[in-house]
Each structure stands twice: as structure tokens, then as C-alpha cells.
Structure 1
Amino acid sequence: MIPFWKKTDKHSKPQSAQKRKQNTKPAVPRTAQQSIPMQRMFEDGTCRVKPNYYTRTIQYQDINYQLAQQEDKTAIFEEWCGFLNFFDSSIKFELSFVNMATDSTEFEKSIRIPYQKDGFDDVRAEYSQMLRQQLAKGNNGLTKTKFITFGVEGESMAQVKPRLDHIQNDLLNNFHRLGVQAKPLNGVQRLKLMHDMFNMDGASKFHFDWKDLVKSGLSVKDAIAPTAFAFKNSRTFQMGGIFCAVSFLSITASDISDQLLKDFLDMDSSQIVTMHIQSVDQNRAIKTVKRTITELDRSTIEEQKKAIRSGYDIDILPSDLKTYGRDAKALLKELQSQNERMFLVTFLVLNTGRTE
């Protein structure tokens, strides 16, 4: 049996209040709308994801990091470290990198230079044509956008709104110090982004107006949901007319190249890369690292005992033990004396295709 969650229409009968009360366990989603993990979108761009948890999204532009001189790269990296250290353990955030096929109509609008009837319209037309050709060549028909979504917990919208405003302003200022253009998304813009991600097959266009909600009896989910979700197996699923697969990246290396993310984003296909990041409370982080160092020391002693029994030098230890021990002690020092933070990161890559 294949779970196939279809998009419902406004004529579907709502569940009675009595039946809702009887269902004490979390309900399994039965429609495409129910499978979207959000409850309400506000006009200012605040989204209530679940009870007592609210988020906002900021779109930001690229920075010429790869082309910068080494000293400039170091300065950018230090600013980025300061940017990340802004997030304490009460703020969850997610970096999203969205590569999607270009909507030719919207693409045309974004680069069109309006005529002004001043004798230079032929130059504007030629320049617009050049932009269309160059952008199409450079992105292989893909539009690449970047977002940061942050969320805090609170009992109500009125309670969390001042804090969300404060965090948003601080983030915009941090982006400005990095030399990056950034803007917050309002409710309609966030809904359009969700619609485009859920309907990557291009089968439907985004049409939405807050005034239509009351008259139509529909919810915001009806405007963004795909025609259906189909989960055939544990590896792939179908979203509307395209097939999708999600992979996660498990990083065990103590150091990685700054090219890592760029290599993913340079792939010529529609994909979404997300980094879900949670800052760990400082005391908890220090205890965790200390516990890890204790375990490594215990493993070192066991290896030395084996060495004595086998009759070889006790200083010959597995390279992993030495590397992890050195890195753990360096991390502990940074946490204790340099005001660094520990982050838990989930790195996901969504790949899509017209066929399985």
C-alpha cells in the first residue's frame, strides 16, 4: 500500500469537534495540506510552525568570497564567525540554499529595463537582451536564492513579536557589516517561496490574496500545497509531478574545506540544501566536551594496556585517538576562554528529477 496524500478542496467536510477531542494522539497527515508542518502565516512574515514556536525568514545575497584576497577572506570568515555566535541556545535557525528552474515569465520581469521614451530605449532593449543571454548561460536556467530562517518559542504572537523584531534587526545589521544585501520576507513572499518549493514541477502558479481567505473558506496551505505527496519507499518520494530524494551529510572530519558548500550549489540541477543549526548552551557544551575527553583518555589507557601486553611502545596509538583528543582539548579551550559556541548541525540535500 502506498500512502498517497492528495490536495483537498474547499468542499471537504471538516472533522467534528467531538472527534477532534477523541483523537488524543498526533494525527497522521492524510492530505497534502496536513503534511505541511505549519499552522498559520501572519501578514508580517511571522509563521506559527507549531504551538508556542514562531519563525521568520530573511533573504540574503551572495558575497564575492571565492574571488577575495586571502586577508579579505580571513576578515569575512571572522565576521561570519561573529555572525554565528550571535545565536544563543534559545534561537533555532536554518540556512537554506534553493536552486530551482527559472520561471521564464518572472525571469523576464526581473531583468526588464522599463522604457522611458528619452531616445535611449533602443540601448535599454539591447542591454536587457544581453542580460537575458548572460544570466541564462551563467545559471543554466536555474535561479539560486539564499535564506536564513530563525525561530523562538513563546506563548503567543504578541509575546514573541518584539523579540522577533529585535533579532531580525540585529541580523540585518550583521549582514550589513558583512557587506551582504538582505531583506526580510513578508507573509506573501514566504508563502510564494513555499509554493515554489512544493511545486517545482511548474504545474501551478502562485495566486494569493489575504482578502480571499475569508470569502473562499480556504487556508494558506491550499495556496501552496502540491497536488499530492506519494511515499513509495524510504529512499524517494513524489511531490506533485517530480521525484525527490533527501540525503544527509555526516561530517566526521575535524576540518573541512570552505569549498564544500560551493561544490553542492554548483550542481546543475534543481535542489535545496539546508543546514539546520542549534546553538548548545555553554555549560552543557563544556560538560559534553569534557565527557568526550574523559572517554578518549579511557580509550587511550586501554590502548596502552594492550601495547604493554603485546610488547610494543605505549606511545604508538591509533591516529584517530590522537586527532580527536587534540581537537577536543582545543575545542574545550575555545569554549572556556574565547567565548566560542558549539552548534548541532543537520545538513540535508534535496535532489529532484522528472523521473525516478
Structure 2
Amino acid sequence: MGFFSNEEFIRYKKCTQPVYQTPASIQQMLDIAGVHENGIFEIEPNNGAGKKRRKFDRVYSFSDLNYVDQDKQQKDGILFQLRKFLNSMDTDFKITIQCEPRDVTNFQKSLLQDENKSEYPELARYNNEMIKKSLEKGQENVRKQRYLTVSANCRSIEEAEGWFDTFEHTALPIFHAMGSELVPLNAVQRFQKIRNYFFTDDGEESFILPFQDMVQAGRDFRNSILPHSVRNHKSYMEFDEECMRILFAAVLPTRLNEEKLIFELTDFPFYTCLTIDTAYIPREVLRGKISNTNFYNENAIGQEVQA
């Protein structure tokens, strides 16, 4: 008997139904009903005069964890904090690792020393050559960004702000204990990250207006971050001068190498976006499912012994 055969369990396993089943325009590609300057987005429209619970979400950026180079005791400590974070989550969330475009020239300037102003120009020249050789071995035109998207069902934006404040007071210390920093993104920063998903022009900031200027101008943010056209093909999507293919991992091996899995899935010389979606299941439903599974296993063992 499959683990997900229980109907009530399957109901929590399903993804949230999109607001737009079939987009009628390019703007409807983003199922965003409302935007607030602090970065909280309303994903579902308010159809109940504020009485109906609807979905809000907020995006946080977090730094990479130094896990591979740690000893066993430190790794166990990181995994303990990670389990603590997962057990504290009572809502749906998504982890995204996005390889975004990067201006190679500016990136090199931020790392290289000015040989003319250096007190030891020969040493600075040697260090610059070593840095350039190291950059050539990596993917200097791509930078990895890591995001945590958290969803909450609330009746109003005020309730959502209180909910996310409570979440941050719980999650920030856990991430800090793991050696990472969790930073919320505001609305303009989220616009920029969405735009980087569709365009590879190094995400120039000039395309995104400040939030208040956008509101005063009556400008739809979707026109700044979405492509002008989208063409669907059998195995990929084409918009403007870019092409995109979406892959879904329906089956994973029973044994995963936690030290290499994410790195191998994101270490490419082109722009990629890896998402790990997690749906919250109430503990009482999970306990009931496990109890039923154990019951059926005991019956199967008993029948096998009798046979």
C-alpha cells in the first residue's frame, strides 16, 4: 500500500491551485493580486471583504552554509538546527537556488587590487593573476543566490505582517546558529529577482523604478519584469530572445549524497533555477497515516506468517 494512498493525506500533498488556470495575457503569468512595499505579496485576491483567508508570501535571501568542510560534530549541529527549523514550520515554503547573471567586469574589479596604488605592485600583480586563473576555472558570469519563500494564510495585510514578524523571530536565530543570515527582500528587490529569472542582461537596475515612483506613475510592475511575448513549444518555452525548459524530478533515489546533490544540480555555466517545494501536513494527519501504515504492515506480516 502506497504511503500517499490516503485521500486526506493526498489533499495536503497537492500544490495550491493557481489563481489563473490559463493566463489570458503575459501579465497574468504572475499570479500576484497585491504588492506591498515591505515585500509581502498577496497571492490570492480578496474576495470576502477581508473575512476570507487568502495566501500571502514573503521572500528571504540566505547565505550558503559551510557544511562540507565541517567535522562530524559541527555537521550534526547544523543538521540539528535544520531539523529544528523544519519542525517549527507549520506552513508551505519553497527553497530556491537561482543562478543569476553577473557583470564579469565589475565582479573582477571588486576582487582585483590596483597595482598602481599598491605599496607592493609586484605582489599585487601576482595576486591578480592568481585570482584571474581561479575565476577562469569557475562560472564567473553566474552567481548563485539562495531564497526562502514562505506562505501564510491570513485575512488581511496587517495580520500577515504580524505572522511574518513572528516567523522571523523564530527563524532568524536558527539560521544564525547554522552560520547563515536570513534577510527579507522588499518589493523592488523581489521585482529585480523575478526579472533576473527571465532576462540575462545582468539585471540592470534601471529597468526597475523605486516603489513610490512606480505607484505615483501608475506603472504596472509586470511591464518592467516580464517578457513582451511567450511562445509555448512541446518541450520548452520561448520569450523574446531567451528559451526555457522546466524539468520535474518525480522520482529521487533512496540514497542521496547531501554534500553534492544541490551543488551538482546548480553547477552549470548557464542560468538555472532549482526549487524545492515543501507542503505542510498537520501532525495529527501524519500520525494517523503512519498508524494506518503500521496497521496494514502488521496485517501483511501476519498473513505472510500464516501462509
Q: Please give the TM-score of this superposition, normalised by the length of structure 1.
A: 0.67
- For 1:6-25, list aligned pairs within 5 A: none
Shift of 1:183: 1.9
**C-alpha distance after superposition, 1:244-301 (max 9, x if no partner):** 2222223465543213222212334321111111231111001112222334445445
- For 1:210-289, list aligned pairs within 5 A: 210-233=211-234, 235-251=235-251, 253-258=253-258, 259-289=260-290
Structure number with bigger Rg:
1
The alignment-based identity, stated in percent, is 19
Could you tell me which of 58, 61, 65 is aligned with 2:60? 58
Listed as ranges, the gaps of 5+ residues in structure 2 are 1-18, 46-53
Which amino acid in 2 is paired with 1:102?
Answer: R
Q: Give the aligned partner of residue 351 of structure 1.
A: none
Contact 1:111/1:132 (8 A) holds in 2 = no
Q: Give the aligned partner of residue 328 of structure 1.
A: none
Contact 1:97/1:273 (8 A) holds in 2 = yes
Listed as ranges, the gaps of 5+ residues in structure 1 are 1-24, 309-356
Q: How many angstroms apart in 1 are the aligned matches of 2:164 and 2:192? A: 21
**C-alpha distance after superposition, 1:105-136 (max 9, x if no partner):** 663576578x8x98759799866786565345
Shift of 1:140: 4.6
Which amino acid in 2 is paired with 1:93?
Answer: F
Q: Give the aligned partner of residue 175 of structure 1.
A: 175
Which amino acid in 2 is paired with 1:212?
Answer: D
**C-alpha distance after superposition, 1:281-334 (max 9, x if no partner):** 1110011122223344454456567xx4xxxxxxxxxxxxxxxxxxxxxxxxxx
Q: Give the aligned partner of residue 188 of structure 2.
A: 188
Could you tell me which of 30, 41, 62 is aligned with 1:36? 30
Shift of 1:175: 1.0
Q: How many angstroms apart in 1 are the aligned matches of 2:294 and 2:26? A: 47
Which amino acid in 1 is paired with 2:198?
Answer: F
Q: Give the aligned partner of residue 84 of structure 2.
A: 82
Distance change >3 Å, CA 215–CA 67, structure 1 → 2: same
Aligned to 1:238, what secondary structure does the other structure show? strand
- For 1:69-218, list aligned pairs within 5 A: 69-88=71-90, 91-104=91-104, 107=107, 111=111, 134-200=134-200, 202=201, 205-206=204-205, 207-208=207-208, 209-218=210-219
Q: How many angstroms apart in 1 are the aligned matches of 2:167 and 2:79? A: 21
- Indicate the structure whose relative CO is greater, using CA pairs within 8 Å and at least 6 residues apart: 2
**C-alpha distance after superposition, 1:201-234 (max 9, x if no partner):** x39744222233245432111111122222122x
Distance change >3 Å, CA 265–CA 217, structure 1 → 2: same
Distance change >3 Å, CA 124–CA 98, structure 1 → 2: farther
Shift of 1:62: 1.4
Distance change >3 Å, CA 129–CA 154, structure 1 → 2: farther
Contact 1:93/1:278 (8 A) holds in 2 = yes
Which amino acid in 2 is paired with 1:243?
Answer: C
Q: Give the aligned partner of residue 50 of structure 2.
A: none
Q: How many angstroms apart in 1 are the aligned matches of 2:186 and 2:290? A: 40
Structure with more of its chain in strand, by fraction: 1
Q: How many angstroms apart in 1 are the aligned matches of 2:94 and 2:41? A: 14
Shift of 1:189: 1.1
Contact 1:41/1:220 (8 A) holds in 2 = no
Q: How many angstroms apart in 1 are the aligned matches of 2:122 and 2:224? A: 40
Q: How many angstroms apart in 2 are the aligned matches of 1:56 and 1:110? A: 31
Contact 2:95/2:147 (8 A) holds in 1 = yes
Q: Give the aligned partner of residue 294 of structure 1.
A: 295
Aligned to 1:54, what secondary structure does the other structure show? strand
Q: How many angstroms apart in 2 are the aligned matches of 1:139 and 1:34? A: 34
Contact 1:40/1:220 (8 A) holds in 2 = no
Q: How many angstroms apart in 2 are the aligned matches of 1:153 and 1:174? A: 23
Q: Please give the TM-score of this superposition, normalised by the length of structure 2.
A: 0.77
Q: How many angstroms apart in 2 are the aligned matches of 1:119 and 1:111? A: 14
Distance change >3 Å, CA 106–CA 279, structure 1 → 2: farther
